[in-house]
A and B are shown apart, each in its own frame.
Chain A
Amino acid sequence: MAELMRMEHISKRFGTKLANDDVSLGVNEGEVHTLLGENGAGKSTLMNVLTGLYQPTSGKIFFRGKETKINGPRDAASMGIGMVHQHFMLINAMTALENITLGTKNNPSPRLNRSEDKRKVQELADRYGLEVDLDARVADMSIGMQQRVEILKVLYRGADLLVLDEPTAVLTDVEAEGLFSIMQSLTAEKKAVIFISHKMREVMRVSDRITVLRDGKSVTTLSCAETTSQELADLMIGHRFRESIYEKVTNPGEAVMSLNHVSLYPERKHGGLKDVSLSIHRGEIVGVAGIDGNGQSQLAQVVTGFAQPTSGTVDTPSGKVAIYSPKSFIDAGVADIPEDRNSMGLVGDMSIAENLILKNTDDERFSYGHGAWFKSRHIHEFAEQMREKNDIRCASVDQPVRSLSGGNQQKVILARELESHPSLLVAAYPTRGLDIGATEFVHDAMIRERDAGCAILLISADFDEVLKLSDRIVVLFEGQVMGTYPGKGAPVKEISLAMAGK
């Protein structure tokens, strides 16, 4: 197969930091080439060099055998390199068609000719099996369809090499399957795909070849058929990776919180709770399995005091809950790792130290007069302790938390929530978007907390994660509890069926 693109000895320096250090990557026509690496391994930097957003400090790029210089996204697009960013670059107020044709000169007339544009785009969509409603506004689309709009956008600009940056991070399993078949039809037409991911299962499923990056260097390139996920994981983290296997607890302590026939927006099929009864005990992890949008978010809202159930009661050891407010739940010892760490868990523009004390500003360790005057030195010392204890990688605890990677942001939340040794921890999607190392860290911390007597409610869309951590598994489907299963020797098949509502 002919080589389409080759990057040779690419280095990119930011200040004193080498984000890419002598990286080489070759992509053939018609192949899916995966870039595998932990967060901060230099995948994004390399792709930004390829699409012209960054200029490499040294190194060469060849496209179709010719050495080229890529000065910007426009250059890259005209050569046939297109990127689908992890955070979509779409205009919500415009239609799919408008988004796709925006900024192109495929049609030379200054007047818009929507019907002709639409015919061309539809042709392209049909050819690669991309199902998109071209007249719908992006704001009204599912995430999966938005992604297909992004892919069409790139194809409409004549891309032969598509970079997909963590495309499955935002997709449900079904949508991801759809994406994989689209990738197949692309490669069948001799187009090449650079696939960025750290989910081992899907990497093994879709890749032809895999290049592993670690600490800014390209470690090796392997053919997918000749490697195993174990080998890839080892290469990625640089030492033998052994996935932890945790002991399951079968005899937990007394109940910390019990839900009795709780309903919340029961009229909604997706996004409501219907007659849910479940209890969470000291020293156990209750895992909630289910496909996203079957009431998980609402369950998290009820047990953290964000929402008051329409009917039913929530009992704690000190009696029936009367006031539903996050404050009263926090005071009762409930800690929360929220599902969206950026909008619910952290204040992005505030420093790491400030985020760490956010829940305890009136604590006398941190302020005089219940929050009237901060003890900056104590706060700083505390933040330094937390940074060390939780391995938060940052230049300083005074830098804005927004500037951290997802894994380190999650560690900040974890540090804040576990510091007070809560009686109940609600962890919603605690490892979403995290790489292997950070995921292990979060899991270890949760197990440690469980063993110290904390009750944990784990909500996750990652079935493997639920199986690995849970001592008891509850399946939610359309807001109802489909069944409760033991975590030890969990009946995987039965649970999968329950998740599908059977």
Chain B
Amino acid sequence: MDTILSALPDILSATMRMTVPLLLVAIAELFSERAGMVNIGLDGLMSGGALAGFLAGYFSGNPWVGVLAGMVAGVLINLIYAYCTIKLCVDQVVLGMAINILAPALASFFYKVAFGDSSALAQGVQMATVSIPLLSDIPVIGPALFQQTPLAYIAYLLVPLSAMFFTQYRAGLNYCAVGENPQAADTLGINVIGTKVLACVICGALSGLGGAFLTLCYTSTYADGIVAGRGFIALSAVIFGRWQSLGVLVACMLFGFCDALQIVLQVNIQGTPYQFFQMIPYMVTLIALVLFVSKHMGPAANGQPYYHE
């Protein structure tokens, strides 16, 4: 118990760090679902972003080039999803699953094209952390909260920004109308198809960014399976967070905390198989979904294709 107590600052700092990729991708999904597009291909989008970010960072030496590449990769992959679900009205869940199978395989392929089939991991660039003056000097929480990579600050900023967009702005209300009742939105002159495509672009970019965070900030290497189901955890964070930005943040932090906790436990408690601790975030996700979720809270037309005349 003492070890865990003394590890508290570490856990806090790790929680903040582990929350970032979840949060980026959960907000990606929030934008997608608000326009009625259930995208379960987040894992796929993340692995695309992770590889593209890693490669671009590795070859340019500049993590920001990697960030940009990760976002572009996410958008490009998600445009497949956009075309098939919006234009061809293919089932969204099926397409999301297809992305989950396609994108990691592509990522694995391109990694091997670039580095051959060697077992040694290539070392890429890592984004430096930025301390915020004064605030980062606060004991315990200072270093945890205010010594982060720029991507982390961006992720946390997205929470109030998206909340304001959805509740305070006309454009946000129109955006939500598309996910609630696209027919009605159409009769009101709202561009339904355009909004849905925009949703896919935002979702792709933020998911790619979340993936790139893993290979540019969290580690500096790429390995197959690096995403490790985080896309699905983010997906459940949106449901658990009841499609509200703040709720999504809370959910992501809970899952991020579990992730951080399991790492600390792995390090500090010997003798227990580490797989047991690794299980924690997924177990908590499962329990949270079972206990706190009601079916009828999401956007009303979520996941349904919109047949345009």
Contacts and interface: CB of A to CB of B under 8 A. Distances in A.
Contact of B184 (A77, A89, A107, A110): A89
A93 B301 CA distance: 11
A91 B188 CA distance: 11
Contacts of B173: 94, 98, 101-102, 112
Given A103-B185, A103-B189, A112 B170 contact: yes
A73 B186 contact: yes
19 contacts: A73-B187, A77-B189, A85-B187, A89-B183, A90-B181, A90-B184, A91-B180, A91-B181, A91-B184, A91-B300, A92-B180, A94-B177, A101-B170, A102-B188, A110-B171, A111-B169, A112-B167, A112-B168, A112-B173
A74 B188 CA distance: 7
A98 B180 CA distance: 13
B308 to A, nearest CB: 12
A94 B169 contact: no
B300 A110 contact: no
Nearest to A72: B189
A94 B173 CA distance: 9
Contact of B189 (A74, A93, A111): A74
Contacts of A85: 187
B237 to A, nearest CB: 20
Interface of B: 167-171, 173-174, 176-177, 180-181, 183-190, 299-300, 309
A53 interface: yes
B184 to A, nearest CB: 4
4 closest Cβ contacts across the A-B interface?
A103-B188, A89-B184, A74-B189, A91-B180
A389 to B, nearest CB: 34
Contacts of A153: 188
Interface residues of A, number: 24
B157 to A, nearest CB: 19
Contacts, number: 63
A411 to B, nearest CB: 27
B190 to A, nearest CB: 5
Contacts of A77: 189
A103 B300 contact: no
Contacts of B185: 91, 102-103
B181 A112 contact: no
A103 B309 contact: no
B168 A111 contact: yes
A151 to B, nearest CB: 14
Contacts of A91: 177, 180-181, 184-185, 300
Contacts of B174: 102-103
Given A77-B189, A102-B190, A111-B169, A53 B180 contact: no
A376 B131 CA distance: 74
Interface string A71-98: 0111001000001010001111110001
B146 to A, nearest CB: 30
Contacts of A102: 173-174, 177, 185, 188, 190
A102 B185 CA distance: 8
Q: Pick from B176, B180, B299 the residue with the most CB of A within 10 Å.
A: B180
Given A83-B187, A91-B184, A153-B188, 9 more contacts: A73-B188, A89-B188, A94-B173, A94-B177, A98-B173, A101-B173, A102-B188, A103-B177, A112-B168
Q: Pick from B176, B184, B309 the residue with the most CB of A within 10 Å.
A: B184
A91 B34 CA distance: 13
